[in-house]
Chain A
Amino acid sequence: DAKTTQPNSMESNEEEPVHLPCNHSTISGTDYIHWYRQLPSQGPEYVIHGLTSNVNNRMASLAIAEDRKSSTLILHRATLRDAAVYYCILAYGGATNKLIFGTGTLLAVQP
């Protein structure tokens, strides 16, 4: 199983942008890059995913390196509600879609 590497923790100030990095040097050509986050006392929730091109949605942006060996989740204006563990995951193709979680990045947001 291809693996991802993320910093254990990061800090941000409220209303400032946050860049959460992820390395996935063993990614295969068909692996999608997914990001989930887990708020305290909740199950994980989907944030965004992409294959090769940068992606934007209402929650965040995903910037993918040209060689696809790394990616960055961008929260444009962090809020206190964004404090969570963020997981970068390589998702496999095919009908089954098990997610292989790492330990993620604990994001703290200071007021």
Chain B
Amino acid sequence: DAGVTQSPTHLIKTRGQQVTLRCSPKSGHDTVSWYQQALGQGPQFIFQYYEEEERQRGNFPDRFSGHQFPNYSSELNVNALLLGDSALYLCASSLWGLSGAMNEQFFGPGTRLTVL
């Protein structure tokens, strides 16, 4: 059973460019959450998708957008990249409908984005 997969593993972009990161959830999961982890910090919640809709959003600007496809996979898009967007981007999958407090999230290995 494949766990959460993310692509690409590493990515280098320059300021002002746009980037798309991809995530496939664990088999059987229908909810995808995205997190940004700066060096030396804990992950910060960006947003969460279920049924192809953004259900909850953290404190991130509109430059960060996402999409969920009918097969539950998801994309994270970041426009007009800034140096401060350099980070590890983590995708986590879970099941919608269970009590959130009971609902374990499974994380992928992340995509390391470097903005020059």
Residue numbers of A with Cβ under 8 A of B are 30-32, 34, 41-46, 49, 51, 85, 87, 91-104
Contact = CB atoms under 8 A, between A and B. Distances in A.
Nearest to A51: B101
B42 A103 contact: yes
A10 to B, nearest CB: 16
Nearest to A106: B40
Interface size class of B (residues with CB under 8 A): 20 to 34
Given A45-B106, A94-B100, 10 more contacts: A41-B109, A42-B109, A43-B4, A43-B90, A43-B107, A44-B107, A45-B107, A91-B103, A93-B99, A95-B100
A95 B42 CA distance: 23
Secondary structure class of chain A's binding surface, majority of residues: loop
Contacts of A104: 42
A87 B48 contact: no
B56 interface: yes
Contacts of B55: 95-96
B56 A96 contact: yes
14 contacts: A30-B101, A32-B102, A41-B109, A43-B107, A49-B101, A51-B101, A87-B42, A95-B50, A95-B98, A96-B100, A97-B105, A98-B58, A101-B35, A103-B40
Nearest to A45: B107
B33 interface: yes
A100 B92 contact: no
Contacts of A45: 106-107
Top 5 closest pairs, chain A to chain B, by CB: A43-B107, A101-B42, A97-B100, A32-B101, A98-B45
Contact of A97 (B40, B42, B43, B101): B101
Nearest to A42: B109
B7 interface: no
B97 interface: yes
A44 B101 contact: no
